């Protein structure tokens, strides 16, 4: 298990699914976790209890990561609770919202998806970086959709996640001389609320059957990768996109 004792982590979208498992894993590894949630306080309460039951330290902070004042509040609350140093940032907040083809979407929908999935990563990273020191790690969440264009109606989502990959590479070059690493994780078909909401059962079954490992991934498996990228064990990895899709898509 990665050693994150003495580290402080912020996880946006940290209350459920991959966010919950990532928050739990970081806490298990010894990190103090500030988990952000948006619209479901019940999930945040459950996740916080799970961390505390493990003997971990954590706080929850509600906030809409598309709003700069909410972003700053998350950072401020984390500093108040755990001190001025932030070692780990995991940018998970985002989503598909709805499946819309080019004909169905308008500019407002397009702009919202770009803000939700890309501008949030920029805003949170910008707010956190002044408190990061040598050895810190930023982990952004892209998607397999960034590589293959996504499924039907996922054009805007896939484009925004492709931008996350490019942002990750560019930022890694800027902050690398400070020994701050920036990487992305690109999940494939993971068993989460995302696919429960937006992907038909027959599609999930077909995709899983076409995966070399013949199954969907689980959120805790993605969280294991988060912990690795947050730790010194990945100290020479930066600007990378780590694909976690069971072999469904290779780069």
How many domains would you assign to the chain? 1
- Residue 86 inside a domain? The answer is yes
Residue 157 is among the residues annotated as catalytic for this protein: yes
- Residue 192 inside a domain? The answer is yes
List the single range of 10-14, 132-136, 157-161, 199-203 with lowest mean pLDDT: 199-203
Type and span of the H or E element at 195: helix 193-198
Task: For residue 198, give the CATH number of its domain.
Answer: 3.40.50.720
- Encode pLDDT of 10-50 as tens digits: 999 999 999 999 999 999 999 999 999 999 999 999 999 99
* Virtual torsion, Cα 203, 206, 210, 216, nearest 10 deg: 70
In terms of residue numbers, what domain contains 82? 8-241
Dig out the tokens for 93 from the structure: 């907040």
- Residue 66 inside a domain? The answer is yes
- Encode pLDDT of 65-122 as tens digits: 999 999 999 999 999 999 999 999 999 999 999 999 999 999 999 999 999 999 999 9
Which residue among the candidates 131, 157, 228, 249 is catalytic per the annotation? 157
- Residue 202 inside a domain? The answer is yes
- Residue 229 inside a domain? The answer is yes
Distances (CA, A) of 158 to 8, 17, 163, 202: 31, 20, 9, 21
CB 150 within 8 A of CB 157: yes
- Please give the pLDDT value at position 250: 87
List the single range of 37-41, 44-48, 136-140, 192-196 with lowest mean pLDDT: 192-196
* Residue 214 backbone class (left: φ over 0; alpha: ψ -120 to 50; beta: rest): left
CB 36 within 8 A of CB 43: no
Place of tokens 């996504």: 150
- Residue 69 inside a domain? The answer is yes
- Residue 248 inside a domain? The answer is no
- Residue 246 inside a domain? The answer is no
pLDDT of residue 196 exceeding 80: no
Model pTM score: 0.95
Dig out the tokens for 99 from the structure: 């499946």
- Please give the pLDDT value at position 122: 98
CB 156 within 8 A of CB 111: no
CB 122 within 8 A of CB 157: no
CB 13 within 8 A of CB 62: no
């Amino acid at each position: 298990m990665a050693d994150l004792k003495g580290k402080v982590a912020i996880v946006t979208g940290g209350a459920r699914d991959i966010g919950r498992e990532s928050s739990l894993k970081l806490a298990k590894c010894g990190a103090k976790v500030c988990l952000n949630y948006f619209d479901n306080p019940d999930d945040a309460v459950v996740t916080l209890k799970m961390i505390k039951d493990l003997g971990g330290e954590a706080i929850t902070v509600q906030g809409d990561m598309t709003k700069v004042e909410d972003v700053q509040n998350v950072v401020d609350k984390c500093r108040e609770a755990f001190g001025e140093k932030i070692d780990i940032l995991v940018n998970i907040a985002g989503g598909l919202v709805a499946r819309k083809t080019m004909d169905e979407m308008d500019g407002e929908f397009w702009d919202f998806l770009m803000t939700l999935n890309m501008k949030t990563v920029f805003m949170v990273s910008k707010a956190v970086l002044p408190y990061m020191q040598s050895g810190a790690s930023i982990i952004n969440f892209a998607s397999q959709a960034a590589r293959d264009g996504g499924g039907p109606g996922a054009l805007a989502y896939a484009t925004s996640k492709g931008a996350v990959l490019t942002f990750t590479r560019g930022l890694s070059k800027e902050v690398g001389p400070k020994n701050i690493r920036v990487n992305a994780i690109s999940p494939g078909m993971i068993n989460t609320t995302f696919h429960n909401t937006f992907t038909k059962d027959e599609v999930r079954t077909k995709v899983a059957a076409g995966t070399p490992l013949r199954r969907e991934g689980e959120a805790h498996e993605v969280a294991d990768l988060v912990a690795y990228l947050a730790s010194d064990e990945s100290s020479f990895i930066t600007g990378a996109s780590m694909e976690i899709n069971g072999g469904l898509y290779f780069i």
